[in-house]
């Protein structure tokens, strides 16, 4: 993931950063807001977590640990499914779910098929 663009708003005292893997017209982009002069945010309970797909969840978690980050759930299959997930925390304590690409989807297909059968 790389920084695609950044815009400072001096009047509002904030900066928007847009990160992603490619051109915004072709791929999804994550918008991050930095509020100037804010030392710490209250985590609260109105936000759960974001999820990011990764090519190698085990190597990603190893890299997070190597860089001093916190892995709060080691990689492995999710409960009641086969999708391989892990959880890490960002420096502010927010949860980030990692999903091993290529392992997700079979549960969703089965749920959709079951919904069609039940109609």
Q: 70-102, pLDDT tens digit by residue? A: 999 999 999 888 899 999 999 888 899 999 998
Q: Is 85 left (phi over 0), alpha (psi -120 to 50) or beta?
A: beta
Residues 6+ apart with CB under 8 A from 52: 96, 97, 98, 99
What does the pLDDT read at residue 76?
Answer: 97
- Nearest Cα to 59, choosing from 98, 90, 94? 98
Q: Which of 13, 39, 97, 107 is catalytic?
A: 97
Mean pLDDT of 42-55: 82
Mean pLDDT of 30-48: 81
* pTM score of the predicted model: 0.64
Q: What is the mean pLDDT of the chain?
A: 84
What does the pLDDT read at residue 115?
Answer: 41
DSSP the chain: -EEEEEEEETTTTEEEEEEESS-TTTS-EEEEEEETT-------SS--EEEEEES-HHHHHHHHHHTT-EEEEEEEEPTTS--EEEEEE-TTS-EEEEEETTS-SHHHHHHHHHHHHH-
Q: What is the Cα gyration radius of the chain?
A: 18
80: annotated binding-site residue? no
What does the pLDDT read at residue 63?
Answer: 97
What does the pLDDT read at residue 24?
Answer: 81
Structure-model confidence comparison of residues 103 and 104, the more confident one: 103
97 catalytic, yes or no? Answer: yes
39: annotated binding-site residue? no
């Amino acid at each position: 993931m790389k920084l695609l663009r950044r815009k400072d708003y001096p009047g509002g005292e904030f900066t928007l950063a847009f990160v992603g893997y490619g051109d915004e017209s072709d791929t999804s982009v994550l918008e991050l807001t930095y509020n100037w002069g804010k030392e710490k945010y209250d985590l609260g309970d109105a936000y759960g977590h974001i999820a990011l797909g990764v090519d190698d969840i085990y190597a990603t978690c190893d890299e997070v640990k190597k860089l001093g980050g916190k892995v709060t759930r080691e990689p492995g299959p999710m409960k009641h499914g086969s999708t391989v997930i892990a959880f890490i925390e960002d420096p502010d304590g927010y949860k980030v779910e990692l999903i091993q690409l290529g392992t997700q989807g079979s549960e969703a297909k089965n749920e959709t098929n079951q919904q069609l059968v039940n109609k």
